[in-house]
Structures are given as C-alpha cells and as structure tokens.
Amino acid sequence: MILIAGRPAGDASITERLGMPLGIRPAALHGSGVTLTQLGAFVLVARLGSVRAAADILGVSEPAVSQALAALRRHMGDQLVVRNGNGMALTEGGHRLFGIASQIVALGAEAEAAVRAAKGAPAQVRLLVTSMISEFIAAPLVDAFSQRWAGAFETTSGVATTAEMRVLLPNRLADAALGPDLGGDPGDGLVSEPVLRYRIVMVASPRFKARGGPGRWPWLVDPSGTDPDSETSRLLRAFRVPEAQIRVFPNQTAAWAATIELCVIDTDRTPVNACWYVTTLAFDRRPEAARCLRNFLTTPVALQLMCAPGSGVPPSRFRPPVYVTIWS
C-alpha cells in the first residue's frame, strides 16, 4: 500500500536548505555574554521540546545545542528548561524569557534582511514545504516565482515537518510554508489560507490480495509517514497500522517503484479530501517578500504548476531543495 504526503530523508538540515540566518557554529556557542545563537537554541528547544529536534533543524550535534543552553543558563542563573518525562518543560524563568527571546531571534532575522537590502542584494524568500511538494512541485514553483520577479528575490525551499513549520515561521527563520494548515493557534501569529484541494488515495499492485483489515496490510510510504501531524500518519493511525507493517522510503517515487504496477483501491476511509495551505505571518508582521510569495501561490500560474508539475524546468534554472551550508 502507498499513501501520498511529508518529509524526505537526507543529512542536510532545514537551515542548510533554506540558508537561514540562525547560524549555530559549535565553536561560537559559548561566550561571556548572551548571544543570538544561544537564544535561538533555547527557543527551538522550548518550542520543539527536544534538544535532538533542535539539533536536527540546525544541522549541529546535540552536545552543541546543550552547550548553548548551558552557557545561557549560567548567564541567567536559571535552568530555563528542564526534562519532563520524555520531553522538556520551561521553568518560571524560562517562561518569562521565552517571549523575549523569540522577539530577539525574529529581530535578528529582520536585521540581516535590512543589511541585505542596504547593500542592494536580493531579498531572501525561504519557503517551507512537505516532502511530496518538495519532490514534485517546489522546483518549478520557485523557478516560476523567480522569473516573475526578475531577480528581485533569492528564493530557496526546504522540507519541514508540521511541528518544525510552527517553530520556524513565527521566529522569522522562514517566510512562508506550503502544505498543512498551521493557523490553529492565535498565539503563533500565523495565517493559513487554502490554496489547492486534493485527494489522498491508496494504490497497490493489481496482484495485491487483501488479507484481514488494513492494519494487517504492508504499507509503503514516503517520509511523511514519520511526521505525526501529516495526513499520512493520521490515516495510518486511523487504520491502527503497527510500525512493523510500515516501510518508509526516501521519497514517494521510490515507494511507487517498489510495487512496479499500481492501481487505486478504496477503503472505508479513503479517498480522503485534503487541502494545501499557504501560511505566513499575520498581515501586520508579514515581510514584503512573504507577501509577494503568498500572492504568487494563489495565481493561476502557480495553481497550474501544482496540478501538473510534470513540465519541469530547463537544466540551467533547476535548483535542488538542498543549498549551501551556513555552518562553515
């Protein structure tokens, strides 16, 4: 069985793919005063509830993030964030610092954008997408957007889970997201608008013989199956599919290839109607670059590319979803 939707495997971090300003360097994680790097690490750990998750986003080791937290704790004289079961919880001091630290991290991103503008450099536009959008749609979308604005923007895309999108966008570490609806929490200051409705289907080899219910079938999924908030994961949970019955492939094409031939099959829970949303900061906080990208994603040109991305782009304009590292 194959589902459609999430996040690709790969060693490059999201910040490497997007070229984000929050450049944690292991050698710069500790110093005599509070640094933007330390505050950024604290915000990510607080929002994601995990040192490991923060390290994955930043493309550094867990000890590097732990050292940043340790330096910030020493300076503040407070633990700020402590272990709570399998996750992390903020102390009272951490709660009070969190809002201020988030604003400082966002201001740091705005400061870098202002300096780029002063030098006449193109404004950065950083788009977060799901793995399926990255695999089939992100490159032609980015190319079409760049052509429309004739070099005014330097556009990159990176793959993120739903939880990561909810962290990166409010802290100005990305400008827009295309994929799930992220606008449920008013405290995040995010606005999600529907862009394209689609349908999730299950496909299988014509020779597949169902034995028992879906929970006993073998399932082949793309990396979205590892994102607990994705449509794929929700459907797998609804079918009560155990982990032993799931195989995750590096991308959807690989999952399709594993079955050689495919045909659509229906169940009592599929097809499923779903929707892609474009998410940005609220209007009063939305950067001009994000506004332009948001408007473009609702145009007929963008919608046509999302519905039929197979036309591709010329080799000279192709840009893969992984970009140069910022950690050197």
Q: Is 272 helix (H, G, I), strand (E, B) or coil?
A: strand
Phi, psi of 161 (to 5 degrees): -80, 170
In a domain, residue 234? The reply is: no
In a domain, residue 183? The reply is: no
Q: What is the pLDDT of residue 56?
A: 83
Q: Which residue has the tokens 């790969």?
A: 10
Pairing relation of β-strands 81-84 and 87-90?
antiparallel
- Has residue 309 got a pLDDT over 80? no
In a domain, residue 150? The reply is: no
More confidently predicted of 58 and 278:
278
pLDDT in tens, 109-161: 888 888 988 888 888 899 999 988 988 889 889 989 988 888 788 888 888 99
d(CA 6, CA 162): 9
The verdict on pTM exceeding 0.95 is no
- Which candidate, 299, 266, 322, 320, places its Cα nearest to that of 148? 299
In a domain, residue 56? The reply is: yes
Q: Which residue has the tokens 């019955």?
A: 245
Pairing relation of β-strands 176-179 and 153-159?
unpaired
Q: Which residues contact 19 (CB under 8 A, 6 or more apart)?
A: 124, 126, 156, 323, 324, 326
Report, as an integer, the average pLDDT of 22-48.
Answer: 72
Other residues' Cβ atoms within 10 Å of the Cβ of residue 301 = 14
What per-residue string of b and e applies to 23-43 under the rule 16 or more CB within 10 Å gives b? bbeeeebbeeebbbbbbbbbb
Backbone dihedral region of 18: left (phi > 0), alpha (psi from -120 to 50 degrees) or beta? alpha
Q: What is the pLDDT of residue 238?
A: 93
In a domain, residue 33? The reply is: yes
Domain count, the chain: 1
In a domain, residue 271? The reply is: no
Domain region containing 19:
14-116
- Has residue 328 got a pLDDT over 70? no
235 touches 272 (CB < 8 A): yes
Q: What is the pLDDT of residue 32?
A: 58
Phi, psi of 273 (to 5 degrees): -80, 135
d(CA 132, CA 152): 27
d(CA 245, CA 171): 38
pLDDT bin (cut points 50, 70, 90) of residue 310 is low
- Which candidate, 99, 80, 127, places its Cα nearest to that of 65? 80
pLDDT in tens, 236-271: 999 999 999 999 988 888 887 777 678 888 888 888
Round the CA-based radius of gyration of the chain to a whole number and report it. 21
d(CA 319, CA 50): 32
d(CA 294, CA 280): 7
CATH code for the domain of 41: 1.10.10.10
Q: Which residues contact 144 (CB under 8 A, 6 or more apart)?
A: 296, 301, 302, 305
- Which candidate, 102, 62, 67, 95, places its Cα nearest to that of 81? 95
Tell me, letter by letter, the H, E, C secondary structure of 112-156.
HHHHHHHCCCCEEEEEEECHHHHHHCHHHHHHHHHHHHCCCEEEE
d(CA 221, CA 29): 38
In a domain, residue 267? The reply is: no
